[in-house]
Each structure stands twice: as C-alpha cells, then as structure tokens.
C-alpha cells in the first residue's frame, strides 16, 4: 500500500506516531530497540544514562502510540518494536543525519 492510499484517519495516526518518535529521548530508545532487540526499563535507562522514571515515561508514550509492544518475562517487562519495519525508519533517519555531516 502506498502512503497516498491511506485514509485520513490513518494519516492522522501516522502523524501521531511521528510526533512521538520525534522526541530525542524516544528516538534514542528506538535506536536501541532495533531489529528484534528486547530490553527492560533498567537496561534502557542505563544505556541512555537517564533516570529510570524518565525512561519509563517515554516507553509508555511509545507504547501508547502503538510503536512499542511489551511482554512480561518473570519480574521484568521487555519492550520491543511492535513492527520491525520501524527499524528501517530509524536506520533511514540515522543515515540522513550522517549524510548531512559530510
């Protein structure tokens, strides 16, 4: 399906997802959850050197917008990309940033 084939409500959902992704902290989280990686909130807050409550807040937003999913594994909740295609988007953004620095 082409983007131009989306219904107005689907375009609105896409825009809402893009707004959520556009925050630097949330984009950094997605960068760590690429290609099948599953991490818990403790791992994410350590990787990003932020408070655990901050990491939890941003994970909640990404999950609420349908970008992340989670599963319980013992006492931990593991977060992962709901759709693997989002890895392509993160990679594309990274490539664009790197290309602009040349």
pLDDT of residue 100: 61
Q: Averaged over 69-92, what is the pLDDT?
A: 88
In tens, the pLDDT along 21-35 reads 989 999 999 999 987
pLDDT of residue 92: 77
**What domain count does the chain have?**
1
Residue 3's pLDDT band, with cuts at 50, 70 and 90, is: confident
Smallest CA-to-CA distance from 62 within 77, 46, 49, 74 is with 77
Domain boundaries, position 96: 3-100
Beta strands in the chain (DSSP E): 68-73, 76-81
Q: Which of 25-29, 46-50, 89-93 comes out lowest in average pLDDT?
A: 89-93
CATH code of the domain covering residue 35: 1.10.10.10
């Amino acid at each position: 399906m082409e983007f131009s084939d989306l219904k107005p409500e689907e375009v609105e959902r896409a825009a809402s997802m893009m707004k959520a992704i556009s925050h630097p902290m949330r984009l950094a989280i997605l960068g760590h959850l690429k290609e099948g990686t599953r991490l818990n909130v403790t791992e994410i807050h350590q990787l990003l050197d932020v408070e655990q409550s901050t990491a939890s807040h941003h994970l909640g937003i990404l999950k609420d917008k349908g970008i992340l999913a989670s599963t319980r594994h013992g006492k931990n909740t593991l977060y992962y990309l709901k759709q693997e295609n989002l890895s392509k988007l993160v990679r594309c953004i990274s490539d664009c940033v790197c290309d602009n620095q040349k």
